[in-house]
């Protein structure tokens, strides 16, 4: 089953439906920066 090429206008008329069918947007604010904390000062251990 292929994704339809056309996007019917009826899906964009109602704001509630428009939010349901909108495309996903990903920004840098949505990403998580992993931080691993080790007790002590200046200790750097690579993550394997």
pLDDT at position 13 is 78
Give residue 17's pLDDT. 82
Whole-structure pTM value? 0.30
Angstrom distances, CA of residue 23 to CA of 17, 34, 41: 12, 27, 45
The predicted-structure confidence for 1-48, as pLDDT tens digits, reads as follows 677 777 667 767 788 888 887 778 888 999 998 888 889 998 888 888
Which H helix or E strand runs over 16? helix 15-21
pLDDT at 1: 63
pLDDT at 31: 93
pLDDT value at residue 32: 93
């Amino acid at each position: 089953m292929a994704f339809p090429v056309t996007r019917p206008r009826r899906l964009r008329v109602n704001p509630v439906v428009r939010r349901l069918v909108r495309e996903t947007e990903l920004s840098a604010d949505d990403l998580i920066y992993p931080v691993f904390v080790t007790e002590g000062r200046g200790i750097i251990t690579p993550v394997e």
